[in-house]
Amino acid sequence: MKKREFWARLRRNKLAISGLILVSGLFLVSIFAYYLAPYDPGQIDLNQVLMPPSAQHWLGTDTLGRDVLSRIIYGSRVSLKVGFVAVGLATLIGLIVGATAGFYGGWVDLVLMRFVDLMLCFPSFFLILAVIALLEPSIWNIMVVIGATSWMGVARLVRAEILSLKEREFVTAARALGASDMRLILRHLLPNALAPVMVSATLGVAGAILTESALSFLGLGVQPPTPSWGNILTAGKDNIEIAWWLSVFPGLAILITVMSYNLLGEGIREAIDPRLKE
């Protein structure tokens, strides 16, 4: 598909464009957090503990008097970092496993796909919880663990595409010209198999952000005082009856972000193949 045709189809999808605008806005907020945050996210003011939203603190303060808006703005950096690094790692592993299995077939395909099936037998979130519980909770461990436990879908997609593409005439012609296996995979097969991977990666960012927020909420993710939407929600859980804003605003941030990536991912999917639109 030509790029011009793809963008024309994507622009016609108003929900996808809305998701793209929101995702772009989140990027800008995370990049310019230092300038947008009205306060230092770690600034403690015991005279302003659990203050409701006001002109001074638009989204209120937390149990240590820290500005919630500033912490949500800085928390967007954590969410984006986790989302993109984790999905990047998962996509890389999935591409390698899927391309190897699809291209070589036979016992290689059998062994790799049975390993994929084995990984899929474990509930992903509980597997992540088990691994994180054994490691020191940190943002880097979270990114690696989420990426290392969410590549199986990408591997299956890539394998299916490679199985179809490797029988095409252009691959036969390249092989006849003496192209090596590595060149066939990297130059001829993978570039033509990336369309469904792009959709999966976009949707995967939303899943990774949601997983990180859940881990931080449970105390196994990003550790205080580093601001994260999940650990802000933890303070909200403990004070839900007297400080509703600690639960509502970070919850809305997670909801809007995940919804934006899902809308964009679905829009990309329909733009790549309009026949998938119901």
pLDDT above 90 covers a percentage of the chain that reads 38
Instruction: Tell the residue number behind the tokens 């189809």, with chain if given.
Output: 9
pLDDT at 107: 92
pLDDT at 12: 87
- The strand ranges marked E within 104-167 are none
Indicate whether this model's pTM tops 0.75. Answer: yes
Task: Specify whether the CB–CB gap between 61 and 44 falls below 8 A.
Answer: no
Task: Tell me the residue type at 200.
Answer: S
Question: How many domains does the structure of the chain reveal?
Answer: 1
Whichever domain contains 233, its CATH number is 1.10.3720.10
* Cα separation, 62 vs 42, whole angstroms: 11
Task: Tell me the residue type at 40.
Answer: D
* Cα separation, 24 vs 27, whole angstroms: 5
pLDDT at 278: 45
* Cα separation, 185 vs 189, whole angstroms: 5
Q: 173 burial class (0-12, 13-18, 19+ CB within 10 angstroms)?
A: exposed
- The answer on pLDDT for 133 being more than 80 is no
Return the number of other C-beta atoms located less than 10 Å from residue 219's C-beta.
12
pLDDT at 39: 92
* Cα separation, 134 vs 201, whole angstroms: 27
- DSSP-H helix ranges across the chain: 3-12, 14-31, 33-36, 68-104, 106-121, 124-134, 139-148, 152-165, 169-176, 181-183, 194-217, 229-238, 245-272
* Cα separation, 78 vs 225, whole angstroms: 13
Task: Specify whether the CB–CB gap between 227 and 72 falls below 8 A.
Answer: yes
What pLDDT, in 10s, does the model give residues 2-19?
Answer: 677 878 888 888 989 999
Rounded mean pLDDT, 162-183:
85
pLDDT at 2: 64
Rounded mean pLDDT, 37-44:
90
- Could you tell me the residue range of the domain that residue 192 belongs to? 3-276
What pLDDT, in 10s, does the model give residues 59-114?
Answer: 999 988 999 999 999 999 988 888 899 999 999 999 999 999 999 988 999 999 99
What pLDDT, in 10s, does the model give residues 201-213?
Answer: 998 998 888 888 8
pLDDT at 242: 87
Which tokens belong to 11?
Answer: 């622009």
pLDDT at 196: 85
Tell me the pLDDT band of 1, cut-offs 50, 70 and 90.
Answer: low
